[in-house]
Amino acid sequence: MSTGKKIKAIFIAVLVLSAGAFSGCAVQDPSEPADAKPPAEEIPEGSVVVTREEIYRYATESNTVWEFAQRFFGDVVVYKDRDGKFVFEPVDPDLPRSDYNWDNLVELGTAHREVAYVQGGKTISIKGIDISRYQKTVDWDKVASDGVEYAIIRLGYRGYDKGGLVLDELYEENIEGALKEGVAVGVYFVTQAISVEEAIEEAEFVLENMRDHDITWPVVLDLEDPASSSARTASLTRDEQTDIAVAFCETIREAGYTPMLYCNIRWFMEELDLTRLTEYDKWFAQYFNRPFFPYEYQMWQYTNNGRVEGIAGPVDLNISFVDYGQD
Protein backbone atom coordinates (compact mmCIF):
# COMPACT_ATOMS: atom_id res chain seq x y z
CA MET A 1 0.00 0.00 0.00
CA SER A 2 1.36 3.44 -0.92
CA THR A 3 2.04 6.01 1.79
CA GLY A 4 -0.82 8.20 0.57
CA LYS A 5 -3.32 5.33 0.61
CA LYS A 6 -2.07 4.19 4.01
CA ILE A 7 -2.58 7.66 5.46
CA LYS A 8 -6.08 7.82 4.00
CA ALA A 9 -6.88 4.42 5.47
CA ILE A 10 -5.68 5.58 8.88
CA PHE A 11 -7.81 8.70 8.56
CA ILE A 12 -10.92 6.67 7.79
CA ALA A 13 -10.22 4.37 10.72
CA VAL A 14 -9.84 7.33 13.05
CA LEU A 15 -13.15 8.78 11.87
CA VAL A 16 -14.90 5.46 12.45
CA LEU A 17 -13.47 5.31 15.93
CA SER A 18 -14.39 8.93 16.61
CA ALA A 19 -17.98 8.23 15.62
CA GLY A 20 -18.21 6.16 18.75
CA ALA A 21 -17.04 9.12 20.77
CA PHE A 22 -19.88 11.23 19.46
CA SER A 23 -22.52 8.52 19.87
CA GLY A 24 -21.29 7.33 23.25
CA CYS A 25 -21.31 3.70 22.10
CA ALA A 26 -17.77 2.56 21.49
CA VAL A 27 -15.59 4.79 23.60
CA GLN A 28 -15.49 5.05 27.35
CA ASP A 29 -16.18 8.27 29.20
CA PRO A 30 -13.04 10.45 29.30
CA SER A 31 -13.37 10.81 33.07
CA GLU A 32 -12.52 7.11 33.35
CA PRO A 33 -8.88 5.97 33.00
CA ALA A 34 -7.87 6.00 29.35
CA ASP A 35 -6.55 2.77 27.85
CA ALA A 36 -2.80 2.56 27.77
CA LYS A 37 -1.16 2.70 24.37
CA PRO A 38 0.18 -0.66 23.12
CA PRO A 39 3.90 -1.42 23.21
CA ALA A 40 5.79 0.04 20.27
CA GLU A 41 6.58 -3.39 18.82
CA GLU A 42 2.82 -4.07 18.48
CA ILE A 43 2.09 -0.90 16.50
CA PRO A 44 1.83 -1.53 12.73
CA GLU A 45 4.08 0.67 10.63
CA GLY A 46 2.27 3.79 9.45
CA SER A 47 -0.36 3.67 12.21
CA VAL A 48 -1.50 6.55 14.37
CA VAL A 49 -2.02 5.59 18.02
CA VAL A 50 -4.23 7.70 20.27
CA THR A 51 -5.99 7.13 23.55
CA ARG A 52 -9.73 7.48 24.00
CA GLU A 53 -9.07 10.51 26.16
CA GLU A 54 -7.22 12.17 23.30
CA ILE A 55 -10.06 11.44 20.88
CA TYR A 56 -12.55 13.08 23.21
CA ARG A 57 -10.28 16.09 23.68
CA TYR A 58 -9.61 16.51 19.96
CA ALA A 59 -13.32 16.23 19.18
CA THR A 60 -14.16 18.84 21.81
CA GLU A 61 -11.52 21.25 20.55
CA SER A 62 -12.39 20.90 16.85
CA ASN A 63 -15.15 22.62 14.88
CA THR A 64 -14.98 20.47 11.75
CA VAL A 65 -13.98 17.01 10.54
CA TRP A 66 -11.09 18.71 8.73
CA GLU A 67 -9.74 20.26 11.92
CA PHE A 68 -10.34 17.03 13.83
CA ALA A 69 -8.44 14.99 11.24
CA GLN A 70 -5.44 17.34 11.30
CA ARG A 71 -4.91 16.72 15.02
CA PHE A 72 -3.84 13.13 14.27
CA PHE A 73 -1.23 13.96 11.64
CA GLY A 74 1.59 16.14 12.94
CA ASP A 75 3.80 15.15 10.02
CA VAL A 76 1.13 15.58 7.35
CA VAL A 77 -0.72 18.70 6.20
CA VAL A 78 -4.44 18.05 5.66
CA TYR A 79 -6.20 20.42 3.28
CA LYS A 80 -8.88 20.52 0.60
CA ASP A 81 -7.88 20.94 -3.01
CA ARG A 82 -9.57 23.15 -5.60
CA ASP A 83 -12.28 20.49 -6.07
CA GLY A 84 -12.97 20.17 -2.35
CA LYS A 85 -11.24 16.80 -1.96
CA PHE A 86 -9.00 16.08 1.04
CA VAL A 87 -5.27 16.06 0.37
CA PHE A 88 -2.70 14.56 2.76
CA GLU A 89 0.65 16.20 2.06
CA PRO A 90 3.77 15.14 4.00
CA VAL A 91 5.52 18.02 5.73
CA ASP A 92 8.61 19.17 3.84
CA PRO A 93 11.55 18.77 6.28
CA ASP A 94 13.62 21.31 4.34
CA LEU A 95 11.26 24.25 4.87
CA PRO A 96 11.62 26.47 7.98
CA ARG A 97 9.14 25.30 10.63
CA SER A 98 6.92 27.28 12.99
CA ASP A 99 7.30 26.46 16.68
CA TYR A 100 4.07 27.81 18.17
CA ASN A 101 2.66 25.81 21.07
CA TRP A 102 -1.09 26.15 20.72
CA ASP A 103 -1.65 25.05 24.30
CA ASN A 104 -0.72 28.72 24.94
CA LEU A 105 -3.76 29.96 23.01
CA VAL A 106 -6.25 31.59 25.38
CA GLU A 107 -9.91 32.23 24.63
CA LEU A 108 -10.76 35.66 26.02
CA GLY A 109 -14.41 34.83 26.64
CA THR A 110 -16.00 37.49 24.46
CA ALA A 111 -19.41 36.91 22.84
CA HIS A 112 -17.65 36.66 19.48
CA ARG A 113 -14.38 34.78 19.43
CA GLU A 114 -11.24 36.60 20.46
CA VAL A 115 -7.97 34.89 21.33
CA ALA A 116 -4.50 35.70 22.60
CA TYR A 117 -1.25 33.76 22.74
CA VAL A 118 -0.02 33.80 26.34
CA GLN A 119 3.32 32.43 27.46
CA GLY A 120 4.58 32.49 31.05
CA GLY A 121 1.70 34.75 32.03
CA LYS A 122 2.64 37.31 29.36
CA THR A 123 0.59 38.01 26.22
CA ILE A 124 2.94 37.50 23.29
CA SER A 125 0.48 38.12 20.46
CA ILE A 126 -0.61 41.51 19.15
CA LYS A 127 -4.28 42.16 18.37
CA GLY A 128 -5.16 43.46 14.92
CA ILE A 129 -7.83 43.69 12.25
CA ASP A 130 -7.96 43.91 8.48
CA ILE A 131 -10.62 45.99 6.78
CA SER A 132 -11.86 47.32 3.48
CA ARG A 133 -14.84 49.31 2.22
CA TYR A 134 -17.08 46.41 3.27
CA GLN A 135 -16.77 47.54 6.91
CA LYS A 136 -18.10 50.96 5.82
CA THR A 137 -17.34 53.97 8.03
CA VAL A 138 -15.17 53.08 11.02
CA ASP A 139 -14.98 54.93 14.35
CA TRP A 140 -11.23 54.62 14.84
CA ASP A 141 -11.26 56.15 18.32
CA LYS A 142 -13.47 53.26 19.50
CA VAL A 143 -11.37 50.73 17.59
CA ALA A 144 -8.23 51.93 19.38
CA SER A 145 -10.02 51.87 22.73
CA ASP A 146 -10.96 48.23 22.10
CA GLY A 147 -7.31 47.22 22.16
CA VAL A 148 -6.64 47.03 18.43
CA GLU A 149 -2.96 47.83 17.92
CA TYR A 150 -2.69 47.52 14.14
CA ALA A 151 -4.89 47.45 11.06
CA ILE A 152 -4.08 45.99 7.67
CA ILE A 153 -6.14 48.17 5.34
CA ARG A 154 -7.09 47.21 1.81
CA LEU A 155 -5.41 49.64 -0.53
CA GLY A 156 -6.99 48.20 -3.65
CA TYR A 157 -7.35 45.35 -6.08
CA ARG A 158 -7.08 44.37 -9.71
CA GLY A 159 -10.33 43.61 -11.51
CA TYR A 160 -11.17 39.95 -12.17
CA ASP A 161 -12.15 40.38 -15.81
CA LYS A 162 -10.63 43.49 -17.39
CA GLY A 163 -7.67 43.72 -15.05
CA GLY A 164 -7.87 47.39 -14.13
CA LEU A 165 -6.22 48.67 -10.93
CA VAL A 166 -8.76 49.98 -8.43
CA LEU A 167 -8.21 51.97 -5.24
CA ASP A 168 -10.46 50.94 -2.34
CA GLU A 169 -12.96 53.78 -2.00
CA LEU A 170 -12.44 54.04 1.79
CA TYR A 171 -8.68 53.52 1.77
CA GLU A 172 -7.69 57.13 2.44
CA GLU A 173 -10.40 57.60 5.07
CA ASN A 174 -9.39 54.41 6.87
CA ILE A 175 -5.67 54.97 6.83
CA GLU A 176 -5.93 58.57 8.00
CA GLY A 177 -8.44 57.67 10.72
CA ALA A 178 -6.33 54.78 12.03
CA LEU A 179 -3.11 56.76 12.15
CA LYS A 180 -4.81 59.70 13.84
CA GLU A 181 -5.90 57.43 16.71
CA GLY A 182 -2.52 55.74 17.10
CA VAL A 183 -3.39 52.47 15.37
CA ALA A 184 -0.38 51.23 13.39
CA VAL A 185 -1.06 50.52 9.74
CA GLY A 186 -0.14 48.08 7.01
CA VAL A 187 -1.86 47.67 3.65
CA TYR A 188 -2.94 44.82 1.42
CA PHE A 189 -3.62 44.50 -2.28
CA VAL A 190 -5.76 41.75 -3.86
CA THR A 191 -3.87 40.56 -6.89
CA GLN A 192 -5.16 39.34 -10.21
CA ALA A 193 -1.85 39.70 -11.98
CA ILE A 194 -1.19 37.26 -14.82
CA SER A 195 2.47 38.10 -15.35
CA VAL A 196 5.57 39.36 -13.58
CA GLU A 197 5.10 42.70 -15.35
CA GLU A 198 1.59 43.06 -13.92
CA ALA A 199 2.82 42.08 -10.44
CA ILE A 200 5.38 44.87 -10.58
CA GLU A 201 2.69 47.24 -11.84
CA GLU A 202 0.54 46.31 -8.82
CA ALA A 203 3.42 46.89 -6.42
CA GLU A 204 4.16 50.29 -7.96
CA PHE A 205 0.47 51.22 -7.71
CA VAL A 206 0.57 50.31 -4.01
CA LEU A 207 3.76 52.29 -3.40
CA GLU A 208 2.38 55.36 -5.15
CA ASN A 209 -0.77 55.37 -3.02
CA MET A 210 0.96 54.81 0.32
CA ARG A 211 3.75 57.28 -0.29
CA ASP A 212 2.27 60.02 1.91
CA HIS A 213 1.39 57.76 4.86
CA ASP A 214 3.37 56.30 7.75
CA ILE A 215 3.21 52.60 6.89
CA THR A 216 5.10 50.61 9.54
CA TRP A 217 3.40 47.23 9.20
CA PRO A 218 3.72 44.90 6.20
CA VAL A 219 2.66 45.55 2.63
CA VAL A 220 0.68 42.44 1.79
CA LEU A 221 -0.07 40.64 -1.45
CA ASP A 222 -3.45 38.94 -1.02
CA LEU A 223 -3.58 35.70 -3.01
CA GLU A 224 -6.90 33.87 -2.94
CA ASP A 225 -9.53 32.26 -5.13
CA PRO A 226 -11.39 34.82 -7.24
CA ALA A 227 -15.12 35.26 -6.93
CA SER A 228 -15.54 34.71 -10.66
CA SER A 229 -14.88 31.37 -12.36
CA SER A 230 -13.98 33.31 -15.50
CA ALA A 231 -11.22 35.26 -13.77
CA ARG A 232 -8.20 36.09 -15.90
CA THR A 233 -5.89 34.20 -13.49
CA ALA A 234 -7.73 30.86 -13.75
CA SER A 235 -5.15 29.18 -15.99
CA LEU A 236 -1.98 30.26 -14.18
CA THR A 237 0.45 27.53 -13.14
CA ARG A 238 2.05 27.15 -9.74
CA ASP A 239 5.35 28.48 -11.05
CA GLU A 240 3.65 31.49 -12.63
CA GLN A 241 1.80 32.30 -9.39
CA THR A 242 5.09 32.06 -7.50
CA ASP A 243 6.86 34.29 -10.02
CA ILE A 244 4.13 36.89 -9.47
CA ALA A 245 4.48 36.69 -5.68
CA VAL A 246 8.26 37.08 -5.84
CA ALA A 247 8.06 40.04 -8.25
CA PHE A 248 5.61 41.91 -6.02
CA CYS A 249 7.55 41.20 -2.82
CA GLU A 250 10.90 42.18 -4.29
CA THR A 251 9.51 45.48 -5.60
CA ILE A 252 8.07 46.29 -2.17
CA ARG A 253 11.25 45.29 -0.36
CA GLU A 254 13.45 47.36 -2.65
CA ALA A 255 11.31 50.37 -1.70
CA GLY A 256 12.15 49.83 1.98
CA TYR A 257 8.97 48.15 3.23
CA THR A 258 8.28 44.69 4.63
CA PRO A 259 6.53 42.48 2.05
CA MET A 260 4.13 39.76 3.17
CA LEU A 261 1.99 37.07 1.53
CA TYR A 262 -1.59 36.38 2.64
CA CYS A 263 -3.04 32.94 1.82
CA ASN A 264 -5.19 30.16 3.15
CA ILE A 265 -3.70 26.69 3.48
CA ARG A 266 -4.68 25.50 0.00
CA TRP A 267 -2.96 28.44 -1.63
CA PHE A 268 0.22 27.99 0.37
CA MET A 269 0.27 24.24 -0.28
CA GLU A 270 -1.08 23.97 -3.83
CA GLU A 271 -0.82 27.26 -5.69
CA LEU A 272 2.61 28.47 -4.56
CA ASP A 273 6.08 26.96 -4.39
CA LEU A 274 7.02 27.61 -0.77
CA THR A 275 10.64 26.63 -1.35
CA ARG A 276 11.01 29.89 -3.31
CA LEU A 277 9.24 32.06 -0.72
CA THR A 278 11.07 31.34 2.52
CA GLU A 279 12.49 34.86 2.85
CA TYR A 280 9.09 36.59 2.86
CA ASP A 281 6.80 36.93 5.88
CA LYS A 282 3.48 35.14 5.75
CA TRP A 283 -0.03 35.81 6.98
CA PHE A 284 -1.98 32.59 7.38
CA ALA A 285 -5.79 32.47 7.21
CA GLN A 286 -7.43 29.46 8.86
CA TYR A 287 -10.57 29.51 10.98
CA PHE A 288 -9.72 26.53 13.19
CA ASN A 289 -9.77 26.66 16.98
CA ARG A 290 -6.11 25.64 16.81
CA PRO A 291 -4.43 26.40 13.47
CA PHE A 292 -2.19 23.96 11.70
CA PHE A 293 0.43 25.13 9.26
CA PRO A 294 3.83 23.60 9.98
CA TYR A 295 5.91 26.24 8.23
CA GLU A 296 6.96 29.69 9.39
CA TYR A 297 4.33 32.42 9.48
CA GLN A 298 4.11 35.65 11.43
CA MET A 299 0.38 36.47 11.49
CA TRP A 300 -2.74 34.36 11.88
CA GLN A 301 -6.21 35.44 10.73
CA TYR A 302 -8.40 33.27 12.93
CA THR A 303 -11.94 34.50 12.21
CA ASN A 304 -13.91 36.52 9.70
CA ASN A 305 -16.73 36.99 12.19
CA GLY A 306 -15.07 39.06 14.89
CA ARG A 307 -16.52 42.06 16.64
CA VAL A 308 -14.71 45.30 17.48
CA GLU A 309 -16.08 48.50 18.98
CA GLY A 310 -16.42 51.19 16.31
CA ILE A 311 -17.14 48.74 13.48
CA ALA A 312 -20.72 47.83 12.61
CA GLY A 313 -20.89 44.14 11.82
CA PRO A 314 -18.28 41.40 11.46
CA VAL A 315 -14.59 42.03 10.90
CA ASP A 316 -11.52 39.82 10.40
CA LEU A 317 -9.46 39.37 13.57
CA ASN A 318 -5.76 38.58 13.61
CA ILE A 319 -2.90 37.99 15.98
CA SER A 320 0.67 38.82 15.08
CA PHE A 321 3.76 37.33 16.66
CA VAL A 322 5.94 40.15 15.37
CA ASP A 323 5.67 43.79 16.38
CA TYR A 324 6.46 45.42 13.06
CA GLY A 325 6.08 48.87 14.55
CA GLN A 326 9.19 48.52 16.71
CA ASP A 327 12.34 50.18 15.42
Domain end among 49, 68, 90: 90
Instruction: Let me know whether 119 and 190 are in one domain.
Output: yes
| Band of pLDDT at residue 161, cut at 50, 70 and 90 | confident
CATH number at residue 164: 3.20.20.80
Counted domains in the chain: 2
Q: Is residue 95 part of a domain?
A: no
On whether residue 327 sits in a domain, the answer given is: no
State which residues form the domain around 278. 102-320
Pairing of strands 126-131, 299-306: unpaired
For 178, the 3-state DSSP assignment is: helix
Q: So what's the pLDDT on residue 48?
A: 67
- Exposure string for 71-110, b = 16+ CB within 10 A, e = fewer: bbbeebbbbeeeeeeebbbeeeeeeeebebeeeebeeeee
CB 50 within 8 A of CB 72: yes
Pair (269, 299) in one structural domain: yes
Contact between 132 and 156 under an 8 Å Cβ cutoff? The reply is: no
The predicted model gives 168-179 an average pLDDT of 98
Same domain, 235 and 261: yes
Cβ-proximal residues to 211 (8 Å cutoff; 6+ apart), any chain: none
Q: pLDDT band at residue 46, thresholds of 50, 70 and 90?
A: low
CA 305 – CA 293 distance, rounded (Å): 21
| pTM for this model (two decimals) | 0.85
Mean of pLDDT values over 264-283? 97
- Helical segments of 3-97, H only: 3-23, 52-61, 65-70
Residues 82 and 191 in one domain: no
